[in-house]
Structure 1
Amino acid sequence: MSDQATAPTPSLRAAGMRQTPQREGILRVLKDSDRPLTVEEIWERMPERRSGLPTVYRNLERFVSEGWAESIVGPDQVMRFVRCDSRHHHHHLQCERCGRTTEVDGCGIDASLTELERLSGFRVTRHQLMLFGVCPTCRSEKDR
Structure 2
Amino acid sequence: MSKSRDAVHEILRQSTGFRSAQDVFTKMRADGAKIGLTTVYRALQSLSDDGRVDVLRNDEGESVYRACASQGHHHHLVCRRCGRTVEVAGPDVERWAEVVGAEHGFTEITHTVEVFGTCQSCSTGAPAN
- Shorter-chain TM range is 0.7 to 0.9
Instruction: Give the root-mean-square deviation of aligned CA atoms.
Output: 2.3
Q: Which residue does the alignment assign to 2:8?
A: 26
Q: Which runs of 5+ in 2 are unaligned?
A: none
Sort the Cα spacing of 1:65 and 1:48 in 2 relative to 1 into closer, same or farther, 3 A. farther
Q: 1:53 aligns with which of 29, 37, 40?
A: 37
Sort the Cα spacing of 1:55 and 1:137 in 2 relative to 1 into closer, same or farther, 3 A. same
- Pairwise CA distance, 1:124: 4.8
TM-score when scaled to structure 2? 0.80
Q: Deviations over 1:39-74 (max 9, x none)?
A: 110111223421111111111111011111122111
Q: Which runs of 5+ in 1 are unaligned?
A: 1-16
For the residue of structure 2 that corresponds to 1:59, the secondary structure is helix
Q: Identity of aligned pairs, percent?
A: 29
TM-score when scaled to structure 1? 0.73
Q: 1:97 aligns with which of 71, 81, 84?
A: 81
Alignment of 1:1-144 (within 5 A): 18=2, 20=3, 22-46=4-28, 47-141=31-125
Residue 11 of structure 2 aligns with an amino acid whose one-letter code is: V
Q: Distance in 1 between matches of 2:26 and 2:108?
A: 37
For the residue of structure 1 that corresponds to 2:24, the secondary structure is helix
Pairs aligned (count): 125
For the residue of structure 2 that corresponds to 1:111, the secondary structure is helix
- Pairwise CA distance, 1:107: 3.4
- Pairwise CA distance, 1:113: 2.4
For the residue of structure 2 that corresponds to 1:108, the secondary structure is helix
Residue 24 of structure 1 aligns with an amino acid whose one-letter code is: D
